[in-house]
């Protein structure tokens, strides 16, 4: 079963902005981080997945199309980037509204999370801080039972203590049912490092790659090599070469391929360095 | 139950992360720090605490289960298995042999001779005293 499967999705937003083609999949039991610079199309992709925007082209399958639109919408929890439309309501009122909309609403979870997140029940949403609003939106999404949680920058603007609380709740969400999945958009490398199993990269409206996190990070290395420039520039996997003193400072995205060629060319590696997730993401997006 | 295990990932190491987890958990079990019946964190909790993916932690747990170190009970979690006391000695020895072989291979990949490696090893033993 695939939780989500996108095949060649395209959408023209206006004269300048065209999204797609988008192709990627989400497996049950996994957390996927969606990364890309501002304007790369992350929020549009999320709006397509949540059924708020219809694509012009391509095929989108949610839960292998086992459910009708009304059913899958209940199985997807959505945390938008901002609380537009919620300003005039208190969390108590929003809880009551959600209870009408979602038949699997859990009042117990709602009350437990209000306590845990330390949120005021009766204050209007617009009077809450950015971080509190974010916690409120996450709380609402977690209080009805879902199979997929989609979050648009869940931890941005949230203080450290609340980040830890939210992370803990997301982990519990995953632990409660091995078939649940999470997709979250983020700009924070540490968040990708701690939570994600897979990374989906977007650039200028298209998905440029989907990677398994640990595998991806281990493939990148910075090497210091002595030898002729021509040989070094032609090494497979090498994406950047700089001269540094008498040595070449080389970045590879395919360390295994590069190493085989290094041995064949008899080039000497003086030193090597692991690349941080921050740097890897900067290269990819 | 704590969600943490006293293990540490070396990101600079060429040993795959699942392998690092597997061998460190094995050591904890063989040395008795994690006794039989002790619950282990879920693959998701372990992945979050070590900042790796569940693909990695699942693979480590599957290998440990396959070798009889841990048991997973559907819906109940993962626990340290009973390991045979006679086998425990063998396993200790095997763990040491594995670690030494890895060290020897690393040394050879850096063109150290056997004599140099033996000398290094005895220096390390002396310094450890």
Choose from A176, A214, A222, A258 for mutation: most chain B CBs within 10 A: A214
Q: Are A6 and A53 in contact (CB under 8 A)?
A: no
Q: pLDDT for A41-50, tens place per residue? A: 999 999 999 9
- β-pair partners for B41: none
Q: Are residues A34 and A81 in the same domain?
A: yes
Last residue of a domain, one of A214, A242, A257: A214
CB contact under 8 A, A171 and B44: yes
Are A249 and A195 in a shared domain? no
In this model, does residue A21 exceed pLDDT 60?
A: yes
Token pair in block for residue B20: 């690092």
**Mean pLDDT to the nearest integer, A105-110:** 94
Where does a domain end: A153, A185, A214?
Answer: A214
In 3D space, the residue among A152, A189, A168, A203 whose CA is nearest the CA of residue A50 turns out to be A152
pLDDT (0 to 100) of residue B2: 64
CATH code of the domain covering residue A210 = 3.40.50.300
- Give me B120's structure tokens: 């290094």
Nearest to B42 among A175, A194, A217 (CB): A175
Distance from CA of A30 to the nearest CA of B (A): 8
Q: What is the dihedral of CA B116, B119, B124, B129, to 10 degrees?
A: 180
What is the ipTM, given to two decimal places? 0.89
Strand residue runs (E) in A144-197 = 148-152, 181-185
Both A235 and A125 in a single domain? no
Between chains, do B54 and A197 touch, taking CB under 8 Å as contact? yes
Report the predicted TM-score, pTM, of the whole model to 2 decimal places. 0.88
Same-domain check for residues A100 and A118: yes
Segments of chain B scoring below 50 in pLDDT: none
Task: For residues A54 and A97, state if they share a domain.
Answer: yes
Residue A164 shares a structural domain with residue A265? no
pLDDT band with cut points at 50, 70 and 90 for residue A258? very high
Number of domains observed in the structure of chain A: 2
Contact between A271 and A225 (Cβ < 8 Å): no
Going by the DSSP 8-state scheme, the letter that residue A97 receives in this structure is H
| Averaged pLDDT of chain B | 90
Residues A146 and A235 in one domain: no
- Closest CB to A171: pick one of B17, B45, B51: B45
**How many whole angstroms separate alpha carbon A51 and alpha carbon A117?**
29
Chain B nearest CA to A252, separation (Å): 15
Q: Is there a contact between B53 and A214 if contact means CB atoms under 8 Å apart?
A: yes
**Contact status, residue A55 vs residue A11, Cβ threshold 8 Å:** yes
Check residue A154 and give its pLDDT.
94
- Whether residues A39 and A171 share a domain: the answer is yes
**CATH number for the domain harbouring residue A248:** 3.30.70
A92 in Cβ contact with A121 (< 8 Å):
yes
Name the residue range of residue A86's domain: 4-214
A189 shares a domain with A139:
yes
Minimum distance, in Å, between the CA of residue A157 and any CA atom of chain B = 21
Which of A183, A214, A245 is at the close of a domain? A214
Do both A267 and A250 map to the same domain? yes
Same domain for A131 and A199, yes or no, is: yes
Beta strands in chain A (DSSP E): 4-12, 18-26, 31-35, 57-62, 76-79, 148-152, 181-185, 198-203, 206-212, 221-226, 238-244, 247-252, 268-274
Residues A101 and A237 reside in one and the same domain: no
């Amino acid at each position: 079963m695939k939780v989500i499967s996108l095949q060649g999705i395209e959408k023209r937003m206006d004269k300048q902005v065209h999204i797609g083609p988008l192709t990627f999949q989400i497996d049950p039991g996994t957390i996927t981080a969606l990364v890309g610079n501002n304007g790369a199309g992350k929020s549009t992709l999320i709006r397509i997945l949540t059924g708020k925007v219809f694509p012009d082209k391509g095929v989108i399958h949610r839960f292998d199309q086992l459910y009708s639109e009304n059913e899958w919408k209940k199985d997807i929890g959505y945390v938008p980037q901002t609380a537009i439309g919620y300003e005039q309501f208190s969390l108590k009122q929003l809880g009551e509204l959600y209870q009408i909309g979602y038949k699997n609403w859990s009042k117990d979870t709602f009350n437990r999370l209000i306590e845990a997140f330390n949120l005021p029940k009766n204050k209007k949403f617009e009077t809450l801080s950015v971080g509190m609003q974010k916690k409120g939106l996450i709380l609402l999404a977690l209080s009805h039972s879902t199979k997929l949680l989609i979050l648009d920058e869940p931890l941005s603007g949230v203080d450290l203590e609340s980040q830890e609380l939210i992370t803990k709740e997301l982990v519990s969400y995953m632990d409660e049912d091995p078939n649940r999945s999470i997709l979250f958009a983020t700009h924070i490398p540490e968040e990708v490092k701690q939570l994600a199993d897979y990374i989906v990269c977007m650039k200028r409206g298209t998905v440029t790659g989907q990677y398994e996190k640990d595998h991806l990070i281990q493939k990148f290395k910075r090497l210091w090599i002595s030898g002729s420039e021509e040989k070094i520039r032609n090494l497979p996997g090498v994406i950047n070469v700089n001269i540094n003193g008498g040595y070449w400072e080389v970045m590879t995205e395919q360390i295994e391929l590069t190493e085989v060629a290094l041995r064949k060319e008899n080039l000497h590696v003086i030193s090597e360095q692991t690349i941080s997730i921050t740097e890897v993401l900067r290269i990819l997006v | 139950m704590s969600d943490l295990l006293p293990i540490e990932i070396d990101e600079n190491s060429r040993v795959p992360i699942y392998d690092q987890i597997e061998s460190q958990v094995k050591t904890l079990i063989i040395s008795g720090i994690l006794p039989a019946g002790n619950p282990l964190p879920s693959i998701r909790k372990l992945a979050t605490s070590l900042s790796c993916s569940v693909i990695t932690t699942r693979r480590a747990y599957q290998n440990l289960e396959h070798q009889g170190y841990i048991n997973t009970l559907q819906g109940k979690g993962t626990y340290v298995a009973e390991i045979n006391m006679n086998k425990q000695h063998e396993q200790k020895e095997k763990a040491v042999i594995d670690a030494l072989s890895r060290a020897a291979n690393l040394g050879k990949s850096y063109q150290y001779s056997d004599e140099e490696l033996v000398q290094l090893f005895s220096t390390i033993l002396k310094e450890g005293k």
